[in-house]
Every structure is written in C-alpha cells, then in structure tokens.
Amino acid sequence: MTSETHGRFKRWFWRPPRAHGEVIADRQVSVLELFYDLVYVAVIGQAAHHLAEHVSVRGLAEFAVVFALIWIAWINGSLYLELHGREDGRTRSVVFVQMGILVLLAVVTADATDGSGWGFAVVYGAYQVVQTGLWYTVWRQDRRDQPEFAAAAGGYVVGMGVSVAVILASAFLPATPRLVVWAGLGVAWIVGIVLAARSSRVGLGLTPTDSLVERFGLFTIIVLGEVVLGVVAGLSAAERDAKTIVTGMLALWMGFGFWWIYFDLVGRRLPRADGGALSNWVMSHLPITVSITAAGAGMVSLIGHAHDATTPAGTSWLLAGAVATGLLALVLTEQALVDAERLFLVFHPLGLALSGGATAALIVGWVRPAPWLLALLLVAVLSAVWFFAVSRFLRADAWGEP
C-alpha cells in the first residue's frame, strides 16, 4: 500500500461526524442501517416472548418498561446515524460494535425483569456508553466549529452519562425496585426526547427527511414481524385443527390491518418541521410499536385458547387494548403531518374515526367473545377505520399520494 493510498484510507476511516445542519435531503436509508435494525428483531422478539408467557397486568407493565428502554436505545442510535453518520469505516465499525452489544442484550432480555436483570442493566449500560462516546465527539466538534449547537449537544451528553450511571446502579437492586428505576429512567428519556425535538432548530438540528420517515417505517415493519412470529408460535404449540387454524389466520389479519392503516394513512408522509409537531410524531411511534408488539405476544395465548367459549380476560384485554392504543397513538401521528394541513378534508375527520375505532376495540375486549370471533371483530374494527380513511382520500382525489 503506497503512502498516498494509506492516507486516503486513513481519511476515509477516521472522518469526523457529519456536522449539525449538514442535512442530506435526498439521503436513503443505508444497507448498514438496515443491518443494524435487523438486530432489534432479536431483542424485541425476546421481550415479546416474556409477555407471551406472562399475560397479566404485571407482565404487561414489565414488557412496556423493557420495550421502552429498547426503543430509546434504537432512537439514540438511529438519530445519530441520521444526523451525523457517514458512509465511512468509522461509522461502520461503531455500528458493528453496537450490534455486538445488542446481540448480548437480546440474550438477557426475555428474563430481564427477573433473573437476568443484572445482566440486562450491565449490557444496556455498555451500549449507552458507546452512544455517549459518539455524542461526545459531536459535542467536541460543535464546541470547535459550531458553538451555537454546543450547549444542546453538551446537555445531551450529560443526560446520557447520567443515564449510564443510573442503569448500571440498578444492576445491584432487587427485581421490583430495579423495574421502578427503569420505568423512571424511561419516563425521563421520553421527556428529554420531547424537549430535544421541540428545540430541534436551535438544538439537535433535526430536520424531517424522507430517510427519517423511512427509518421509523422500517422499525414499524420490525414489530409487525412479531405478529407473524406470534401466530407461528401459537400454531406450533397448539393442536392444528380447523378452528385453531382459522383463529390463527384471523389473528394474522390483525397484523395486516395494522400494516394497511399505518402505511396508507401516515407512512411515507413527512411530519411538519416545527418542534411540537415533530416531537408528537416521534413520540407517537412508541405506543404504536409497543401496541403492535404486544398484540403479537397476545396471539400466542389467543390461538392456544382457540377452543374456549370465551377468550381469557387477560388475552382479550391485551389484544383489544393493543388495537385501541395503536389507533389512538395514530391520532397524534396524523395530526403532526404536513399533509394534515394540505389534505385537511381527509385528515381532520380521521382523528374521530381512529378514536371511534379505539372505543369499539375496547368494547370487543370487554365482551370477551370466543377467540376466533374476537380476532374477527378486531379485524372488522381495523378494516372500518381503513375504509373510512380511503373514502376520504378518494373524495379528495388524493388516494395513493405519498
């Protein structure tokens, strides 16, 4: 290798992070980001497995806390790549290090709220140490080249450092107090992300782009995969007669319903750039994705009880509540879109339809019909919301617009 070639390789491998405001408007999600997201399939799958085996109020609470921490890790990693990542050796190497840590995190996630809590805290803390280092390099660069961003970036680094200390300290607590600490940490992160997004123009420099929208859509596809896995797990464990298979297929159509509603109503559509709309758009994806994943976990129990006269209460409320929560969260998502203003006649009544669908889903959960009928009724609720939205798009001659 000549000295000139060596110099080029060194510059390619050690390029600094992309600066704040250096937005690549036509950037596409890279194959590296797709590979990185793939690891979250394993982590989320383990969290869903825990809920599938503990369909109860406590099991749901444990799942929600662990999922929130996983989502926060994904947000931090994804936003770094969106804002500061490059197609270079440094970015690739750091992402592969993160992926290795996430694989270890997946190993301890299923039992994170009990026997593996210590391991989850340590591995999650290690992952956040890497992320803290990445954002620290951004702060150092801002302090030198863009001091107007330095205060916000520095505050973010401090917040991440505190988060590392808290999660590592939680490793030494008993299971229940540790879960409470994790819940508090999740709430603190959610508040922090909202505040950061609301001050994006002077702080993080976050600008809505097609690649950002695509990235959130891809994460939604990841959790939709949990619906498929839930159906497969349920059918694999049960006696596969006609009623069980029909129940499984109807449960699978619930996942299809989530897909149609998300990607036809809000997918591929840019959020508005103002801080309030942007923060609502970002944060609405947490209840959307946690709901879809919870529904996938609940399908294992639904299929397992296919021959029952009524759906078990925990399973019924889990699935109905997941549909209701997902639909209500979509109200925030659609109201934050640029198209909510451009296509006012479409999106203005959509919030009422989504809220009505959520109410209907809860009524279905309260009635607790047979498992096959519960799945069919929830599919009907999702279908009704979708058909209402499509009718509004057709009336406005805007159907099929991205």
Q: What is the pLDDT of residue 157?
A: 87
Q: For tokens 């879809």, what's the residue?
A: 292
Average pLDDT of the chain, as a whole number: 90
Query: Sorting pLDDT into bands at 50, 70 and 90, what band is 402?
Result: low
365 and 316 Cβ atoms separated by less than 8 Å: yes
CA distance 305 to 103: 33
Query: Using CA of residue 78, residue 332, residue 297, residue 390, what is the dihedral sign?
Result: negative
Three-state DSSP class for 337?
strand
Q: For tokens 């109905």, what's the residue?
A: 320
DSSP 46-87: HHHHHHHH--SHHHHHHHHHHHHHHHHHHHHHHHHHHHH--S
* Model pTM score: 0.92
- Which of 316, 318, 340, 334 shows the shortest CA–CA distance to 385? 334
Q: For tokens 């660069």, what's the residue?
A: 141
Q: How far is CA 354 from the centre of its chain?
A: 20
392 and 346 Cβ atoms separated by less than 8 Å: yes
Q: What is the pLDDT of residue 333?
A: 95
17 and 141 Cβ atoms separated by less than 8 Å: yes
Cα-based angle 101, 105, 110 (whole degrees, multiple of 5): 170
Query: Sorting pLDDT into bands at 50, 70 and 90, what band is 386?
Result: very high
* Sequence-distant (≥ 6) Cβ neighbours of residue 116 within 8 angstroms: 108, 109, 110
CB-CB neighbours of 11 under 10 Å: 11
Q: For residue range 249-295, what is the model confidence (pLDDT) as tens digits?
A: 999 999 999 999 999 999 989 999 887 888 899 999 999 999 999 99
CA distance 254 to 190: 28
Higher pLDDT, 314 or 205: 314
Amino acid 96 reads F
Cα-based angle 145, 90, 128 (whole degrees, multiple of 5): 85
Residue 230 has pLDDT above 90, yes or no: yes
Q: For residue range 117-153, what is the model confidence (pLDDT) as tens digits?
A: 999 999 999 999 999 998 888 888 877 877 777 777 7
Q: For residue range 152-176, what is the model confidence (pLDDT) as tens digits?
A: 778 888 989 999 999 999 999 999 9
Query: Sorting pLDDT into bands at 50, 70 and 90, what band is 344?
Result: confident
Q: For residue range 18-64, what is the model confidence (pLDDT) as tens digits?
A: 777 777 767 788 888 999 999 999 999 999 999 999 999 999 999 99
